[in-house]
Amino acid sequence: MTAHLMNRNRSSRLGTRRPAPPALVLVGHGSRDPRALSTVRTLMERIRELRPGLPLHLGHIELNEPLLPDTLAALGTGDAVLVPLLLSRGHHVKRDIPEAAAASQAHTRIAGPLGPHPLLVETLYERLVEAGWRTPDAAERRTSAVVLAAAGSRDPDAAVDTRRTAGLLADRLGVPVVPAYASASAPTVADAVRAFAARGRPRVAVASYFTAPGRFATECAAAAPGLASPPLGAHPAMAHLTLHRYDEALTNTLAATA
């Protein structure tokens, strides 16, 4: 043990350092709403606080700069893990991000989307509580429900992921939760609210399943009959989840090459 410490101290005196970790590239969708970019930048600061020294970059799929290809070009031939700030599998995760990575010179690994994951469910729960949700008593539980408002996708895997999150949130809340979508899929939030009311559940809250404010999140909240939570945003759990996906991608790569 003493010899090991002496060798380690000697290496330190000689200036030997651990290699820098691969950069973490946050891949945002992009939005014309300026609050979205502000939210992502706040999330980046939370990640920096959790893991100082980790190279951290941002690239967007569309609408905001820097665009992902430009971010990857700036990395040259460096190592990077791309973490999509997306909540399910879909076209962007399966095609857009891999194609951008393949076209760059950087040595990249692509992490899975953020969802589904229990940390997202806890974030959804806390956002609902912030908006005024309270645990219903036995009588209220029979008339209560939640609509999980998501962006929507034509990819069936995206719907599977969103339904799984809805199921986890239902377990957390103790009331029925159904997904509804802003585009590309059915039902809409308004349709889901009406369906619950027809089943004798008029006390309906809308949980915003969006990473940041934007047009879809605003439209879904406007369709709520009452309580609507804000987007997931830069909640501390989102920073922890982003780092979890980063670490997961590195671990999976090491396991695959072992």
Q: How far apart are CA 6 and CA 145, in angstroms?
A: 63
Q: What is the largest CA-CA distance in the chain?
A: 75
Residue of 181, 207, 43 whose CA lies nearest to 127: 207
Q: How far apart are CA 196 and CA 203, in angstroms?
A: 9
Joined tokens for residue 177: 């939760």
Residue 29 annotated among the catalytic residues of the structure: yes
Q: How far apart are CA 44 and CA 250, in angstroms?
A: 19
Joined tokens for residue 109: 């690994």
Among 4, 29, 60, 91, the active-site one is 29
Residue 130's contacts (CB-CB under 8 Å, 6 or more residues apart) are 229, 230
* Residues that are catalytic: 29
